[in-house]
Chains A and B, each alone.
Chain A
Amino acid sequence: MDIEACLRKDYITNQVNDGKRLDGRKFDEYRDMEIEKDYVGEKACGSALVRLGDTRILVGISLNVGEPYPDAPESGVMTISTELRPIASPNFETGPPGGEAIEVARVVDRGIRESNAIETEKLFIEENKVWIVFVDIHALDHGGNLIDASGVAAIAALVNTRMPKYEDDQVIRGEWKGKLPVKCTPVPCTSVKIGDNILIDPSMDEEYAMDARLTVTTTDMMNAMQKGGQGTLKEEDILSAVDLSFEKGKEIRKVIESL
């Protein structure tokens, strides 16, 4: 059991019920978000570092040539993995990814996949050969709301990914030819319920105190949702989180697309 969570929960809940967040934000306000593209620009095909409050996520993109899935022989492949590195939190351990890391990867994956952001049909090379896009989410500092920071970092990195040169059945490392075709910018926005209040972009403390959370990934439509936490949500909670996610997603999308 988490002593810190237990001790802080009541205090944070009381503050929120009085309309206050510990860091002085409004309920519909994100923490400061900084996106730095090409953070590790020398080797990786694409990368982006996102700072969201105290949270820091680095995403790196690698491209390889491999076999397509049998049910989509003319489409490229995307795989997303998350590593919650032990450097990011005293609660993270080395070893194979646990439930939390897998959830982050799969929620980010659903948003990008279901919005068809990557034009995988353009990643076809020849029969049985397609580009494989590896998206590796690397958590460096856990200050709350890993999903949004990861999702933003992933799509920001993908939008700015270069394609390696491919000649005579060989990938030529260090030489580039064009950009990865990406046609839209899905943005996940996570709200939490504390008491009867809906707050966007939970900090670490607010994640301790939350009853439930809801992530909604939007483009011009909704592309993915994920409820988390042991608490319950009413239909009106969900609808207000959806509205909030559309609104904030639009603002964040503008930032990503202007990078």
Chain B
Amino acid sequence: MAKDDVELIKNGKRLDGRKFDDLRKIKIEVGVLKRAVGSAYVEWGKNKVMAGVYGPRELHPKYLRDPTKAHLRCIYNLAPFSVEDRKRPGPDRRSVEISKVSAEALSSVVMLEKYPNAGIDVFIEVLQADAGTRCVGLTAASVALADAGIPMRDLVPACAAGKVSGEIVLDLMKEEDNLGECDLPLAIIPRKKEIVLLQMDGKLTKDEFKKACGLAVDGAMKVYEMQKEALLSSINNVRIEE
């Protein structure tokens, strides 16, 4: 809900000095964990998120096994200290929902048919949260899956757009998310420019939605380049032929 006492946009600039279509600063590291098959760490503004992948491995409970393909599970977890008011440990309704939509988004790119009956587990740990954590989580998770060497059709970069003080802006920070009018996180498959995660809450007209959607897709494309760069620089002795 919009409140008048905080000025979110001043002279065409946002609270942290960004323009409407600027992303926050993003850093992606690959292979940060020893034990996991694949892992990634993403810093995105004040967000700090780690993703780890286990599998393909034997799937329990047994009834989840699918003889035609692997079953991909995702657990999104906010650490108790990741937000200012301590979050009670364990799954709540929000994290169960985010886990579900994230698993669905990742399932659309992972070649699950290569591992019938197996399970692939993706764990997303949010260590510090500052709005947009589901996008950061998915961005990290798809890099971790690639790091695990699991065949994929593409990566899944994600980014949010939203409406703040009447303006459509990219990549909302905490204050904008709390006080703005709308948040629209989405994730894409860049090679096909198709959308695999889309949520929205707030108030938008159709034209505003079109604009926000376009902005978020462009933002995700920038994230995609950073993901690829991080993955390439994590592998030694790679020569890219132009």
**B-binding residues in A (CB < 8 A):** 1, 6, 97-100, 102-103, 105-106, 110, 113-115, 214, 221-235, 238-239, 242-243, 246
Contact = CB atoms under 8 A, between A and B. Distances in A.
B237 interface: no
B97 interface: yes
Nearest to A2: B66
Contact of B97 (A102, A229, A235, A243): A102
Contacts of B203: 114-115, 221-223
B209 interface: yes
14 contacts: A1-B67, A97-B93, A102-B96, A106-B93, A110-B201, A114-B203, A214-B198, A221-B204, A222-B200, A222-B209, A226-B198, A238-B195, A242-B206, A242-B209
A225 B97 contact: no
A230 B107 contact: yes
Given A102-B93, A105-B93, A226 B99 contact: no
A232 B108 contact: yes
A223 B202 contact: yes
Interface in B190-227: 192-206, 209-210, 213, 217
Task: Give the 7 A-B residue pairs with the shortest CB-CB distance, closest first.
Answer: A225-B200, A232-B194, A227-B198, A1-B66, A99-B100, A230-B107, A110-B201
Contact of B94 (A1, A106, A231, A232): A106
B199 A226 contact: yes
Nearest to A239: B210
A231 B201 CA distance: 22
A140 B198 CA distance: 29
Given A1-B66, A239-B210, A229 B201 contact: no
A224 B192 CA distance: 25
Contacts of B210: 239
Contacts of A239: 206, 210
